[in-house]
Amino acid sequence: MNFEEINRVLFFTLNDICPIATSRISMMSIDDRYAVYPFLRFRFKDKDKNDVIYSKIRDAVRNFKGLLTWEMITYDDVPNYLILPSYVYSDGRPTSGDLNEHLLAKYGENLYRQMIDQAIVDIPNLACYIQNKLQVE
């Protein structure tokens, strides 16, 4: 799977489960994979924020065993969910400043790039894991 496919596979996997209302398809910058941490922001069309489908996906994301740990989060003040590596919000939701700059300062450029490379390996496997878990139920 090439980078462009990896960058979009989670969106398409979730969209196959239920149509997605949000428009961002890619998890990372197309021009520079290291420009920002990988994440997918989404919500489903015609699904309430508390619909059981979200808890099923959250459980699958939480139980996935990859190179990184992953999580699915949301906040009361936003309609969307995020799927992202756990390290991104390990210090909580930032109140100010650029999160990407904070992560670079916290981990250093080499480790930060390594974690993005690990995410690139994980993403297709995470998509497959979610798809398999939701088909079983």
Tokens of residue 45, six digits: 């069309």
| CA–CA gap between residue 91 and residue 35 (Å, rounded) | 20
Q: pTM for this one?
A: 0.92
**How many CB atoms are closer than 10 A to CB 122?**
21
Q: What is the pLDDT of residues 70-107, one digit of tens each?
A: 999 998 889 999 999 999 987 776 656 688 888 999 99
Give pLDDT, residue 90.
79
Q: Which residue has the tokens 């808890």?
A: 55
**How many CB atoms are closer than 10 A to CB 99?**
15
Angle, CA of 38, 69 and 27, to the nearest 5°: 15
